[in-house]
């Protein structure tokens, strides 16, 4: 297995190990996203391989893990950008391609998915694998904060690596080829490993009998050269132009797959394209029937064609990842990228009849035999490792320190210390200002020195206060430790309820924190809609800069410009 990095390098400490797997099958969580079919397709194949290796696999869609249904909004916004404002999408992609960390709006959005993502991990889960960059960012953050104690891996579904794919905290990044592996390594990814691609085993080279049978099933000409034109599950990009140009070259007949874009299929038929398909379940059979694949996104379909021994060419690529994937495939020697229409006919002719055809077939098939082991084997090896013994982090609970007339500030305090502190505060003194409590001279000096910034009711508690409380000052936030002695301050507590514990009265309800989070989420959504949809639409409609709302209005009114 060709490692560029060792996945264990850079991991904190070298703790002793114990096997926590126990008897019976172990579980692995796989998180993908229904943004097109590529991420889900890779997750499906990874699940199949891991199941064959004896693991139980839990599948989750990252869009469902985002709060308040934002996932569907983002999916729709992404599709609209590709369809209505491709230039705007290209600008956004290029501006963020090499950022070392996501922007503020993206970070706020992903932070809202941490709790639900963590909930997908069961006590029996031994590893989590992401096939979507947003999920990788969340998993990496959970690993860095010590909230996820099992390995987290990313399988890179693209042949080029955007910066969002590389998440600090991820233990290993698995790549289909050395080109994306090198790009990930340059961006600081940990545990970069070339494991080969993931494709359905039905995608295999066709015999002549397979070819004839497939053409008969799909009603295709028996002897004419056929160019299979694909545009992903959404059918996006300048597909009509590409189909007409392939037909006009005379080198091959276009066979177009529109995915779930019914409107595109109808327009192509109206344009006189004879062989048009929408969603095709038997893609291996259709590839067996054709002679060359023309693609515009460089995703999973390209890898499936390479596994089928079908030469691949990139043409009229969609912005963003479509163009960077095309460049990476060309650099790897797997698919030429036709940038000018006048190069279409000679390139198709070479791949259909010339010596380049066999060279491209050999290069594509070698992709599936060069890696020592596949992605599933790498994931399984990490999942079978004994888990490290780690000291659990203290559970933090909110403690608010406020001053009269000043908005309170909530800080986190270890749960055990807060329980002990609450037990030390007489119920009649909770909520009283410092001025109403006995002076410092009457408080035990040991306690005063231990926690000088806490309320007087705690500082005057019994000298026998447990050592755990006295040592809590080292882990209390600076906002508490630095509170000036004698300044009016209270430990805010809930209204006493009969039978309620002192700890419950001291624990602070956090409605303000929840409101702040909701406001931040609303701002993130507004920024996403304005900058991610409104700005490109404004550019497409020719609106003045900043007139995002007007552009959205045009779009909602079905302005087809």
Q: What is the pLDDT confidence band of residue 525, given thresholds at 50, 70 and 90?
A: low
Residue 434: its pLDDT value, please? 38
Residue 476: its pLDDT value, please? 44
Whether residue 285 is predicted with pLDDT greater than 80 in this model: the reply is yes
Q: Which of 92-101, 178-187, 325-334 has the lowest mean pLDDT?
A: 92-101
Contact 329, 305 (CB under 8 A): no
Most confident of 72-81, 359-368, 414-423: 359-368
Which run of H or E residues covers position 292? strand 292-295
Q: What is the pLDDT confidence band of residue 372, given thresholds at 50, 70 and 90?
A: low
What distance in Å separates the CA atoms of residue 383 and residue 336, rounded to the nearest whole number? Answer: 38
257-279: per-residue pLDDT in tens? 999 999 999 999 999 999 999 99
290-326: per-residue pLDDT in tens? 999 999 998 899 999 999 999 999 999 999 999 999 9
Please state the φ and ψ torsions of residue 330, each to the nearest 5 degrees: -70, -40
Which of 448, 455, 464, 451 is closest to 426 using CA atoms? 455
**What are the residues whose beta carbons fall under 8 Å from the beta carbon of 169, sequence distance 6 or more?**
139, 140, 141, 142, 143, 144, 152
What distance in Å separates the CA atoms of residue 400 and residue 413, rounded to the nearest whole number? Answer: 10
106-134: per-residue pLDDT in tens? 888 899 999 999 999 999 999 999 999 99
Residue 554: its pLDDT value, please? 57
Whether residue 250 is predicted with pLDDT greater than 90 in this model: the reply is yes
172-186: per-residue pLDDT in tens? 999 999 999 999 999
Whether residue 194 is predicted with pLDDT greater than 80 in this model: the reply is yes
10-54: per-residue pLDDT in tens? 333 333 333 334 445 689 999 999 998 899 999 999 999 999 999
- Please provide the distance, in angstroms rounded to a whole number, between the alpha carbons at the two ends of the chain: 52
What distance in Å separates the CA atoms of residue 521 and residue 97, rounded to the nearest whole number? Answer: 24
Whether residue 66 is predicted with pLDDT greater than 90 in this model: the reply is yes
541-555: per-residue pLDDT in tens? 565 555 555 655 555
- For tokens 């038929």, the residue is 269
């Amino acid at each position: 297995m060709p490692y560029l990095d060792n996945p264990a390098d850079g991991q904190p400490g070298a703790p002793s190990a114990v096997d926590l797997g126990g008897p019976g099958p172990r579980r692995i969580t796989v998180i993908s996203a229904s943004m097109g079919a590529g991420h889900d397709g890779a997750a499906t194949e990874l699940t199949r391989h891991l199941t064959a290796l004896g693991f139980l696999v839990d599948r989750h869609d990252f869009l469902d893990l985002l709060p308040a249904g934002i996932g569907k909004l983002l999916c729709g916004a992404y599709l609209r950008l590709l369809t209505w404002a491709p230039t705007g999408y290209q600008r956004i992609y290029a501006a963020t391609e090499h950022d070392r960390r996501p922007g503020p709006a993206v970070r706020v959005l992903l932070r809202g998915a941490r709790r639900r993502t963590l909930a997908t991990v069961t006590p029996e889960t031994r590893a989590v694998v992401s096939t979507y960059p947003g999920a990788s960012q969340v998993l990496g953050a959970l690993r860095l904060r010590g909230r996820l104690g099992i390995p987290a891996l990313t399988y890179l579904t693209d042949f080029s690596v955007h910066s969002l794919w590389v998440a600090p905290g991820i233990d290993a990044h698995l790549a289909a080829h050395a080109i994306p592996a090198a790009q990930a390594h340059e961006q600081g990814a940990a545990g970069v490993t070339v494991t080969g691609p993931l494709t359905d085993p039905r995608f295999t080279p066709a015999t002549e009998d397979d070819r004839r049978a497939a053409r008969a099933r799909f009603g295709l000409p028996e002897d004419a050269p056929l160019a299979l034109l694909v545009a992903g599950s959404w059918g996006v990009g300048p597909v009509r132009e590409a189909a007409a140009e392939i037909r006009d070259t005379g080198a091959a007949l276009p066979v177009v797959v529109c995915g779930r874009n019914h409107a595109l299929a109808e327009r192509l038929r109206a344009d006189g394209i004879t062989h048009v398909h929408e969603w095709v379940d038997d893609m291996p059979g259709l590839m067996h029937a054709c002679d060359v694949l023309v693609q515009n996104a460089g995703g999973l379909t390209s890898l499936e064609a390479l596994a089928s021994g079908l030469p691949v060419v990139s043409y009229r690529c969609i912005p963003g990842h479509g163009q960077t994937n095309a460049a990476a495939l060309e650099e790897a020697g797997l698919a030429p990228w036709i940038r000018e229409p006048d190069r279409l006919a000679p390139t198709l002719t070479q791949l259909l009849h010339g010596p380049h055809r066999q060279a491209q077939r050999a290069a594509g098939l070698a992709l599936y035999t060069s890696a020592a082991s596949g992605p599933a084997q790498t994931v399984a090896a990490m999942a079978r490792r004994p888990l490290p013994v780690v000291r659990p982090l203290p559970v933090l609970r909110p403690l608010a320190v406020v001053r009269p007339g000043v908005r309170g500030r909530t800080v986190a305090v270890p749960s055990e210390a807060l329980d002990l502190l609450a037990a030390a505060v007489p119920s009649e003194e909770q909520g009283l200002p410092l001025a109403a409590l006995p002076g410092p001279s009457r408080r035990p000096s040991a306690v005063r020195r231990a926690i000088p910034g806490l309320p007087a009711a705690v500082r005057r508690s019994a000298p026998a206060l447990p050592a755990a409380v006295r040592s809590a000052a080292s882990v209390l936030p600076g906002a508490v430790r630095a509170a000036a002695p004698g300044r009016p301050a209270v430990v805010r507590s809930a209204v006493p309820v009969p039978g309620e514990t002192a700890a419950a009265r001291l624990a602070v309800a956090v409605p303000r924190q929840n409101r702040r989070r909701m406001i931040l989420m609303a701002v993130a959504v507004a920024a996403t809609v304005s900058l991610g949809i409104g700005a490109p639409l404004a550019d497409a409609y020719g609106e003045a800069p900043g007139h995002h709302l007007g552009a959205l209005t045009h779009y909602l009114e079905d302005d087809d410009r």
